[in-house]
């Protein structure tokens, strides 16, 4: 039987071996492990200490990854980008340092903690619990959700009777949908029209005619990704997830739908974890 652990992101917090030792330099993280139960367990050696190889395990410059049998450990590092390490590549020495310094390492560490969510956690979705009618909770009431023309948005909710219709309309013409999708489950993804601009409305309507609405504001481009994120992420997926998490740090919480749309485009296990976090209303601290 093969044990498969899905791709996930790691905490990359800066660590010190001792008060007198130089700080370890964050170089990457383990994103997946695929190993037969009868194969020798992969080992990570760090400064003479043998560590278990686990998903989310941070990697530092100078670490050595030992893999035997049919095991495969997938890593993402500054030097190797994404690399599948098997017995033929082992022992594999980790080298390099993630760009962006401590700021990117701190954000990656936050992501790693967020993605350790318990599987049985029940998310408080974008519609209030136990409401007779769906009630959206997408950021502060004073700040409409920001979306980008031509980009994807994603919403999840609770309550109501399926099937659901999800639409983007203009307040001046509420009966004419600019974009629409149907959903049997309580989540949907749809694209903001390329020509959309200014004030819009997201409408969720259930089979009984109950509605939930949230104001949107469409703009031509997303907020720029800080250079320390672009430089610090070893792969495009990590860069997109980190950029989405960065948007969630906005004080006015205007970018939840935009961040969720960025994650929904990826469709990976870490992206789904981030979507669950957004639906619960959590965000990096």
Say whether both 83 and 183 belong to one domain: no
- Identify any residues that bridge with 148 across adjacent strands, giving them in sequence order: 219
Q: Are residues 241 and 185 in the same domain?
A: yes
Q: How far is residue 8's CA from residue 30's CA, in Å, rounded to a whole number?
A: 8
Q: Return d(Cα 207, Cα 187) in angstroms, integer.
A: 15
Rounded (10°) CA dihedral 89, 91, 96, 97: 110
Is 205 in a helix, a strand, or coil? strand
Residue 54 has a pLDDT of 78
In angstroms, rounded to a whole number, what is the distance separating the alpha carbons of residues 87 and 98?
25
The per-residue pLDDT for 60 is: 87
Q: What angle do CA 277, 282, 285 make, to 5 degrees?
A: 120
Q: Which of 54, 83, 98 is the last residue of a domain?
A: 98
For residues 70 and 164, state if they share a domain.
no
pLDDT tens string, the chain, 285 residues long: the values are 333 323 232 222 222 233 335 677 888 888 788 888 888 999 999 998 999 887 767 788 999 999 999 999 999 888 888 899 999 999 999 998 877 656 776 666 666 655 554 333 333 344 444 444 555 544 334 467 889 999 988 888 877 889 999 999 998 887 888 999 999 998 888 999 888 889 999 888 889 888 888 889 999 888 888 888 887 778 888 888 888 888 887 777 788 888 888 888 887 767 777 887 777 766 655
What CATH number does the domain containing 179 carry?
2.60.40.10
Final residue belonging to a domain, choices 36, 63, 98:
98
CA separation for the pair 92, 63 (Å, rounded): 8
Last residue of a domain, one of 98, 114, 146: 98
Q: Indicate whether 85 and 181 sit together in one domain.
A: no
**Residue 144 and residue 87 in one domain:** no
Question: For residue 184, how many other CB atoms are within 10 A of its CB?
Answer: 8
Shared-domain flag, residues 140 and 210: yes
Q: Is residue 28 part of a domain?
A: yes
Q: Is 112 part of any domain?
A: no
Domain that holds residue 147: 123-285
- The domain tally of the chain equals 2
Residues 242 and 183 both lie in one domain: yes
Q: Is residue 118 part of a domain?
A: no
Do the beta carbons of residue 208 and residue 161 sit within 8 Å? yes
Same domain? 191 vs 71: no
**Which single residue is written with the structure tokens 């190797």?**
80
The reply to whether 133 falls in a domain is yes
194 part of a folded domain:
yes
Least Cα distance to 193 among 223, 218, 213 occurs for: 218
Residue 117 located in a structural domain: no
Asked whether residue 104 is assigned to any structural domain, the reply reads no
Residue 280 and residue 205 share a domain = yes
Do 255 and 172 share a structural domain? yes
Which two three-digit tokens encode residue 118?
């318990």
Residue pair 47/15 in contact by the 8 Å Cβ criterion: no
Among candidate residues 137, 182, 186, 179, the one with its CA nearest the CA of residue 161: 186
Contact 192, 168 (CB under 8 A): yes
Instruction: Identify whether residues 140 and 272 lie together within a single domain.
Output: yes
Q: What is the pLDDT of residue 113?
A: 58
Domain identity same for 205 and 79: no
Q: Is residue 30 part of a domain?
A: yes
Q: Please calculate the CA angle 172-175-178 and round it to the nearest 5 degrees.
A: 80
């Amino acid at each position: 039987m093969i044990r498969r652990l899905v791709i996930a992101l790691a905490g990359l917090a800066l660590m010190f071996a001792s008060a007198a030792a130089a700080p370890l330099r964050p170089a990457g993280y383990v994103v997946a492990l695929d190993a037969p139960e009868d194969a020798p367990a992969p080992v990570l050696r760090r400064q003479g200490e043998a560590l278990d190889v686990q998903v989310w395990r941070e990697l530092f410059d100078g670490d050595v990854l030992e893999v035997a049998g049919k095991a495969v450990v997938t890593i993402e590092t500054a030097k190797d980008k994404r690399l599948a390490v098997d017995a033929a590549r082992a022992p594999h020495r980790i080298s390099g340092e993630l760009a962006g310094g401590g700021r990117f390492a701190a954000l990656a560490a936050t992501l790693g903690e967020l993605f350790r969510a318990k599987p049985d956690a029940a998310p408080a979705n974008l519609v209030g619990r136990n409401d007779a009618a769906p009630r959206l909770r997408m950021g502060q009431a004073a700040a409409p959700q920001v979306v980008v023309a031509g980009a994807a948005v994603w919403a999840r909710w609770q309550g109501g009777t399926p099937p659901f219709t999800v639409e983007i309309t203009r307040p001046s013409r509420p009966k004419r949908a600019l974009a629409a999708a149907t959903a049997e489950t309580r989540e949907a993804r749809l694209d903001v029209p390329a020509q959309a601009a200014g004030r819009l409305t997201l409408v969720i309507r259930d089979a009984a005619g109950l509605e939930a609405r949230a104001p949107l504001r469409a703009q031509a481009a997303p907020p720029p990704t800080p250079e320390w994120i672009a430089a610090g992420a070893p792969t495009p997926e990590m860069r997109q997830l980190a950029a989405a998490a960065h948007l969630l740090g906005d004080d006015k919480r205007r970018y939840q739908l935009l961040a969720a749309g960025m994650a929904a485009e990826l469709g990976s296990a870490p992206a789904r974890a981030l979507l669950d976090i957004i639906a619960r209303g959590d965000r990096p601290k």
